Amino acid sequence: MSTLEQSLSQFRALPKPESSRLIDFEEAEIRPGIVSDTYILIVRGTKPYLNLEVNLVPLVYVQQPEYWGIEVVGTLPGIGLPATAPYTVSLPVDGIRGKQGIEVIGANCSKQLPFLDVKHS
């Protein structure tokens, strides 16, 4: 096992936070950025708490996967205000692309999004 793999294994063994969870999403798409050969992931859904902070969090890999996993994570700071609200979050995905594309990972579903310019071998 390499030093990087060992370090990643130790990181994954750390306790998980109580205030953050994977949440559901309804739509996910990759759009071209303003500069050529750049891309932005856009994810939309409904959050279960009005004050839930939603982020897109890329997984960590030792080697480039076929589809790079990006989790839809909700963090609840303090007391939750129990009212649903729509959310839209985005993330530039230029340095976090898998060989084929990316995979958006939510609480109950995932969606693979291929990059259209990727040449399949």
Q: What is the mean pLDDT of residues 96-112?
A: 96
Structural domain contains residue 107: yes
3-state SS assignment for residue 10: helix
Structural domain contains residue 121: no
What's the token pair of residue 58? 């890329």
Contact 21, 34 (CB under 8 A): no
Count of domains observed in the chain: 1
pLDDT tens track for 2-32: 787 888 888 888 888 888 999 999 999 999 9
**What pLDDT is stored for residue 120 in this prediction?**
40
Structural domain contains residue 41: yes
**What pLDDT is stored for residue 118 in this prediction?**
44
pLDDT tens track for 32-65: 988 988 899 999 999 999 999 999 999 999 899 9
Structural domain contains residue 1: no
**What pLDDT is stored for residue 117 in this prediction?**
58
Task: Tell me which residue range forms the domain holding 52.
Answer: 6-112
Residues contacting 53, CB < 8 A, separation 6+? 74, 75, 76, 77
**What pLDDT is stored for residue 80 in this prediction?**
87
Structural domain contains residue 120: no
